[in-house]
Amino acid sequence: MNKKTVIANWKLNGNRNQIINFINLLNRDSVKINKCLCKIIIAFPTLYLDLAQNMITNKNVFLAAQNVDIHLNGAFTGEVSINMLKDIGIGYVIIGHSERRIYHRESNNIIANKFKIIKDANLIPILCIGENKKGKKLQQTKDVCKKQLDMILQLCGPLAFQNTIIAYEPVWAIGSGKIPTLDIIQDTHAFIRTYIVNYSSISTEKISIHYGGSVNEINIEKILQQSDVDGVLVGNASLNYNQFIKIINIINMI
């Protein structure tokens, strides 16, 4: 069985103490985590990534940033560059999250440029895509995903999605307690995989597609049983260590 990846997105949550406690518990449970069939990637707020990087002792636990700028350096007040993330040993960057698309007006074009800058630096982008409530109602899920992938394929070429992570995150499912039916999750993931394979020469198993949006300890088992789901992106349920480790334990038993 392939290792499943669990990505924890802390968004704008947590403080120094909470993060230190969380990592101490992760380090304490290292032996258990190392035996498990999953890889863990945690996206703490950028400010705490360096601290986290210095504390984590487990080789199965990696860190992600929640954003990156499209510039490498210069007069861009408030931004963080890919070189800075690389400098402190961060391996992954989440981009295209609906909260950035909505609240920061990030277009497919900006996201494609971020994707490129991450790949050029040899870090791994975690690209979030997915339809909003209106798109769901109009049954436009596949069209929306296609459009969100196209800009990246055009800018980065047919091999763009080699060694990257895609997260299918229906916007309406995020933080709502609702998820699509399992058939829809499987069907959408299979569509994304086939669409990329048809565009490029990447082999099917080299494309990593995760599901995100209201994942918790109750629904995770069924979600991960879908054949095209390679992992999950967890928001709320990753903030509390007990809840998070329950998810990891469930993956261990699947």
CA 144/CA 132 separation, integer angstroms: 9
169 binds ligand PGA (CB under 6 A): yes
236 binds ligand PGA (CB under 6 A): yes
**For ligand PGA, which residue has the nearest CB?**
235
Q: At closest approach, how far in Å is the CB of 213 from ligand PGA?
A: 5
Q: How many of the chain's residues bind ligand PGA (CB under 6 A)?
A: 13
229 binds ligand PGA (CB under 6 A): no
141 binds ligand PGA (CB under 6 A): no
Q: Which of 5, 141, 214, 226 binds ligand PGA (CB under 6 A)?
A: 214
Nearest to 127 by CA among 192, 52, 202, 194: 192
Q: Which of 96, 125, 170, 235 binds ligand PGA (CB under 6 A)?
A: 235
174 binds ligand PGA (CB under 6 A): yes
Q: At closest approach, how far in Å is the CB of 203 from ligand PGA?
A: 27
175 binds ligand PGA (CB under 6 A): yes
Which residues lie closer than 8 Å to 66 by C-beta, 6 or more apart? 9, 10, 11, 43, 45, 46, 93, 94, 97
Q: Which of 93, 212, 226, 251 binds ligand PGA (CB under 6 A)?
A: 212
234 binds ligand PGA (CB under 6 A): yes
x/- letters, 30..69, toward ligand PGA (CB under 6 A)? ----------------------------------------
Burial of residue 55 (CB within 10 Å: 0-12, 13-18, 19+) is middle
Residue 219 has what DSSP assignment?
T
Do the beta carbons of residue 1 and residue 159 sit within 8 Å? no
In the complex with ligand PGA, the residue whose CB is nearer, 212 or 231, is 212
Does the annotation mark 210 as catalytic? no
CA 224/CA 233 separation, integer angstroms: 11
Q: How many helices (H) and strands (E) does the chain have?
A: 11, 8
Pair of tokens at residue 139: 């049954």
Q: At closest approach, how far in Å is the CB of 179 from ligand PGA?
A: 9
b/e sequence 223-252, b meaning 16+ C-beta within 10 Å: bbebebbbbbbbbbbbbebeebbbbbeebe
* CA angle (177, 91, 77) in 5-degree steps: 85
Active site residues: 97, 169
Q: Which residues bind ligand PGA (CB under 6 A)?
A: 9, 169, 174-175, 212-215, 233-237
